[in-house]
Structure 1
């Protein structure tokens, strides 16, 4: 469920024209890294273009401004997560099973796409202007709602200790917490990620769901 293809941090040589979709993906992957490393204000079209071996003029053929690049990163991330939620939500079985799968898929996405995750969920509002903030708000709300609906199904079965809205937000906060800490504090002596995530989620479910 990787959002952008793996690329090296080394600057590429100038590349021939064409390769539209591939080149666009390269630009987005490079922009993710540069936005995270330099911040939105510190990132420039020139830096992004240099990273993928393009001239600034050539990059403008794909994106009109860096705000459009950030907006597209947000759009792709939310689209991928929403598609996953819809796929899981349509599966058969008890709603608790689907809820657990959604939580794992969300955490897996964050670990697999750390730069995109930081930009979408950990960027200051002032840096999400130029269209990205409204896109993040609208698509993020829709994404959370698709998750909240499954929590409401669990509530309808009488399995929640509290209300669906609070439970959904608590689960999201827990998932976000482990993602954000692991990807921003790689130097910490973390236990194996699978063990950490399993322990966290099982603890949350034990506290929020009735036996």
Structure 2
């Protein structure tokens, strides 16, 4: 991956209307290029072309920055799933489309996906507490759309598993495994991508549906 530009020209005071977005963009680039835990707010401020105190006027901590990026990523995933739900019927074909919606999101927005799904925020729940649980709440909103679709399939008598929530979690984990590997290990000698994805979805369908 090409290293992001570390420093932008320092912006004069008074140009703050788009600054919050510039800070978020700079943070996402740095988090995607490096381990989140080694990126400092000073580096983010430099990449955004502002001072560190100016950054703190928008985000009090690095956790707040990470939380906002997570919330936005989950919101974009939810929007995609909501769009698919508007045309949803509980059929195997629509099952495949729902799986593809998740995969498309991860592969088309890998930086956002990486920060939301592939970064260990903390091992003790401290990140959740420090950010008021906002990322988890946003993630659950996206997940609940997925739950509703699998529940419809279950109600139609199409699923093997009698517990639709357990099935949803298994499917979510299966999708995440593929997407995270394709993002994290692009150098691996994968087979043709479209065929790989189609095969993975078919495998999930066979395991989930009668």
TM-score (norm 1): 0.84
Alignment counterpart, residue 90 of structure 1, candidates 86, 90, 105: 86
Stretch of structure 1 that moved more, 74-83 or 116-125: 116-125
Aligned partners of 1:99 and 1:147 also within 8 Å = no
1:23-43 Cα distance to aligned partner (Å, 9 max, x none):
323321221232344434322
Indicate whether 1:177 and 2:172 are aligned: no
Cα offsets for 1:153-192 (capped at 9, x unmatched): 1111111111222321221111100111111112111223
State the SS of the aligned residue for 1:126. coil
Partner of 2:109: 113
Closer, same or farther: CA 185–138 of 1 in aligned 2, 3 Å: same
Q: Quick one: distance in 2 between partners of 1:99 and 1:136?
A: 26
TM superposition shift of 1:148: 0.9
How much does 1:92 deviate? 4.9
- 1:186 is aligned to 186
Q: Which runs of 5+ in 1 are unaligned?
A: 1-6
Residue in 1 aligned with 2:154? 155
* 1:209 maps onto 2:206 in alignment: no
Q: How does 1:23-42 map to 2 (within 5 A)?
A: 23-42=19-38
1:9 matched residue in structure 2: 4
CA RMSD of aligned residues (A): 2.4
Q: Which moved more, 1:138-147 or 1:179-188?
A: 138-147
Q: Which runs of 5+ in 2 are unaligned?
A: none
8 Å CA contact 1:160–1:208 kept in 2: the answer is yes
Q: Relative to structure 2, which stretch is displaced further, 28-37 or 171-180? A: 28-37
Q: For the residues of structure 2 that align with 1:133 and 1:182, how far apart are their CA atoms? A: 31
Q: What are the residue-to-residue correspondences of 1:62-77 with 2, within 5 Å?
A: 62-77=58-73
Alpha-carbon distance in 1 for matches of 2:139, 2:88 = 25
Could you say what secondary structure the match of 1:63 adopts?
Answer: coil
- SS of 2:133's partner is helix
Cα drift, residue 19 of structure 1? 5.6
Q: Which residue of 17, 24, 28 maps to 1:20?
A: 17
Cα separation, partners in 2 of 1:100 and 1:132, compared to 1, 3 Å: farther
* Structure 2 CA distance for aligned equivalents of residues 133 and 110 of structure 1: 25
Matched residue pairs, number?
203
8 Å CA contact retained: 2:81, 2:98: yes
